[in-house]
Chain A
Amino acid sequence: MITLNAVTKLYNEGRPNEFAALHEIDLTLARGAMSVLRGPSGSGKTTLLSILACMARPTSGRVSIDGEIVSGLPERFLTELRRTTFGFVFQRFNLVRGLTALENVMLPTVPLGADYGQTRDRAMARLEALGLADKAAMPIEHLSGGEAQRTAIARALINDPPILIADEPTANLDTALAEKFLAILAEERAAGRTVILTSHDPRIWEAEGVDRIVTLRDGRIVEGATGEGAITEGAV
């Protein structure tokens, strides 16, 4: 369970261009559920997702995972948490150009000191499961949008994290690819993985398997804050 208490995030703090991306957010997301954060551009979805995934720290407030407060942890513990708990699919995929699909998928395993052969096999298996086995040796810039996204998913799942997070996953995909992506997410959710998405794409909100929708506007939750339509803890 991920819980946010009174989380506020300010950018450019103390400067004339300071602005608040999030105001006093209180939110609890259950394990094993597929939750969608929706809202217009600039509503704070991506910032909230970054804080949930421990990639940004709140300016004030508290983030806890399974009851343990993580927002005040030193950087090295947050790294460990990111490595073991979260898999993140970025809006623009954020794959490293010049590397092959396989090398990109293996990136999260580099600091682990894992056996190269085993890691490679695992990465190949992920790519195969997503229909990208024949693209493994291809530099990332030669892949189509859908292929790049599936590579990003494979990378997010390589360390088998319990929580998969995706930021605007269908923003750059056509309908067919978006449906394919949603099917993958449904599979992951069915496999017991927690899935958290941001989207302003109705195809996502209306997709089968979405357990909860939280609506944001101007950095505040305007709908779904208290578990309306949510899967309660332990229900999955």
Chain B
Amino acid sequence: MMIWARRQRALADYTLAALSRRKGKNIALVAIFSLVVFALSSAMFFAAALRHETTQVLRNAPEIVVQKLIMGRQDLIPGDVVDTIAGFRGVTSAKGRLWGYYYDRIDGANYTVMVPDDPALIPAVGHVAVGEGVPRARGLAWEGAPLFLSRYEGDLKRFDVDRTFTRDSALMTADLVLMNPQDFRAFFDIPEGLYTDVVATVRNQNEVATIVTKASNALPQMRFVTRADIERTYQKLFDWREGLLVVLAGAGLLAFAIFAAEKASGLSAEEAREIGILKAVGWDTRDVIAMKMWEGGLVSLGAFLIGTVAGFAHVFLFDGALFAPVLRGWAVIYPDFALTPHIDGVQLMTLGLLTVVPYMAATVVPVWRTASGDPDAVMR
């Protein structure tokens, strides 16, 4: 054991000396390698953190959302449907909701306008609570600045801003405008007794699918969207965007793969000669491979560490400044929020499989091919 440890130390010493001999080349290699890891890790961390954030936020969402469809398009739901849904076995509560989108011609942004479920959050008549993106888009820099919104008829309606949501909830609230139901109906011209959709909660989560099936049969003109459906849609959206970024990062990965393949295709005359010398002075093929594994390990793990830490810092400290527009979306109001750091072993393993493993293989395979020959043949 002692001899093995001393041997490894001697090999590591030699490797460090070998790396410092080709300082320029190795620094460039680590830099390129780190950049590839940085791009991939940023995309993966960002998308995973968004998915995690979405899951966390949706945890409190209602299990079922009911929408009325006429000719495949969404329509307002009469209040008696709320009672019908509430009457289904297993449903603990059903509530009509008022919400929709508002296109602001002044800044070209879309706001999500809604009446909150929680009575404590409902603003007083003439007042609104807004997400942090709304004053940002409107340039309402000072506290208490009024928000003027134009009705479809063209007249302006003034709202006093009661509250602005914090960055912590920005993923879901950035473009939000919360209104009193009276203001909402007046602003969008929605008669009493009609709702935009209905939300239902159930007693047992496992029965959601059964309740939806029964309710769909009873109310065929309604569409039932479960929380799992919404979550899946978000995940798919982030998956798609992550894929897009990974494809972009893939260009870097491809360049790296070409470099690795070129490396795997053979050693330079100088490297081969050095291996020949080492074998001639008594190094075994395994010693040479062990030394090259140290070398490849130091380069690839070093670059992996640098790239991963940089990717982590980029996503969680600098809010993924480089990739945010792609991953968050291209809306005028994109959420300005800090992601909660969330990394799992699978992500790190995937990163390692995509970067460290190919590099190690590209390093060791040609060395093994060269080192298994006679020293005389290798040096020739």
Interface status of A133 (Cβ within 8 A of chain B): no
Q: Does B21 lie within 8 Å of A79, measured CB to CB?
A: no
Shortest CB-to-CB span from B256 to chain A, Å, is 26
Measured between alpha carbons, how far is A57 from B373 in the docked complex, in Å? Answer: 10
Interface status of A56 (Cβ within 8 A of chain B): yes
Query: When each residue 347-380 of chain B gets 1 if its CB lies under 8 Å from chain A and 0 otherwise, what string results?
Result: 0000000000000000000000000101111010
Sample (26) of A-B pairs whose CB atoms are under 8 Å apart: A50-B374, A55-B279, A75-B284, A75-B285, A75-B372, A76-B284, A76-B285, A83-B281, A90-B280, A94-B276, A94-B280, A94-B379, A95-B277, A96-B274, A96-B277, A98-B20, A98-B21, A103-B14, A107-B277, A108-B283, A110-B10, A110-B14, A110-B283, A110-B287, A111-B10, A113-B10
Interface status of A206 (Cβ within 8 A of chain B): no
Interface status of A159 (Cβ within 8 A of chain B): yes
Shortest CB-to-CB span from B191 to chain A, Å, is 85
Closest to A110 in B: B10
Q: Does A55 lie within 8 Å of B11, measured CB to CB?
A: no
Given that A96-B274, A98-B17, A110-B14 are contacting pairs, would A56 and B377 also be in contact in the complex, using a CB cutoff of 8 Å?
Answer: yes
Measured between alpha carbons, how far is A80 from B307 in the docked complex, in Å? Answer: 41
Name the residue among A79, A97, A109, A110 with the largest chain B CB count within 10 angstroms: A110
Q: Does B10 lie within 8 Å of A99, measured CB to CB?
A: no
Q: Which of A123-137 contact B (CB under 8 A)?
A: none
Q: Does B379 lie within 8 Å of A99, measured CB to CB?
A: no
Q: Does A83 lie within 8 Å of B6, measured CB to CB?
A: no
Query: When each residue 286-302 of chain B gets 1 if its CB lies under 8 Å from chain A and 0 otherwise, what string results?
Result: 11000000000000000
Closest to A82 in B: B282
Measured between alpha carbons, how far is A94 from B10 in the docked complex, in Å? Answer: 20
Shortest CB-to-CB span from B242 to chain A, Å, is 43
Seen from chain B, the residues whose Cβ lies within 8 Å of a Cβ on chain A are 2-7, 9-11, 14, 17-18, 20-22, 273-274, 276-287, 372, 374-377, 379
Chain B residues near A90 (CB, 8 Å)? 280
Q: Does A155 lie within 8 Å of B21, measured CB to CB?
A: no
Chain B residues near A53 (CB, 8 Å)? 280
Chain B residues near A57 (CB, 8 Å)? 374
Given that A83-B282, A115-B6 are contacting pairs, would A110 and B11 also be in contact in the complex, using a CB cutoff of 8 Å?
Answer: yes
Q: Which of A100-125 contact B (CB under 8 A)?
A: 103, 107-116
Chain A residues near B2 (CB, 8 Å)? 113
Q: Does A55 lie within 8 Å of B375, measured CB to CB?
A: yes
Measured between alpha carbons, how far is A99 from B14 in the docked complex, in Å? Answer: 9
Shortest CB-to-CB span from B246 to chain A, Å, is 39
Chain A residues near B286 (CB, 8 Å)? 76
Given that A75-B372, A97-B21, A98-B17 are contacting pairs, would A88 and B7 also be in contact in the complex, using a CB cutoff of 8 Å?
Answer: no
Closest to A161 in B: B282
Measured between alpha carbons, how far is A224 from B278 in the docked complex, in Å? Answer: 33
Closest to B371 in A: A75
Measured between alpha carbons, how far is A47 from B22 in the docked complex, in Å? Answer: 32
Chain A residues near B376 (CB, 8 Å)? 47, 50, 55-56
Shortest CB-to-CB span from B375 to chain A, Å, is 4
Shortest CB-to-CB span from A127 to chain B, Å, is 16
Closest to B11 in A: A110
Q: Does A155 lie within 8 Å of B281, measured CB to CB?
A: yes
Shortest CB-to-CB span from B323 to chain A, Å, is 40
Chain B residues near A94 (CB, 8 Å)? 273, 276-277, 280, 379
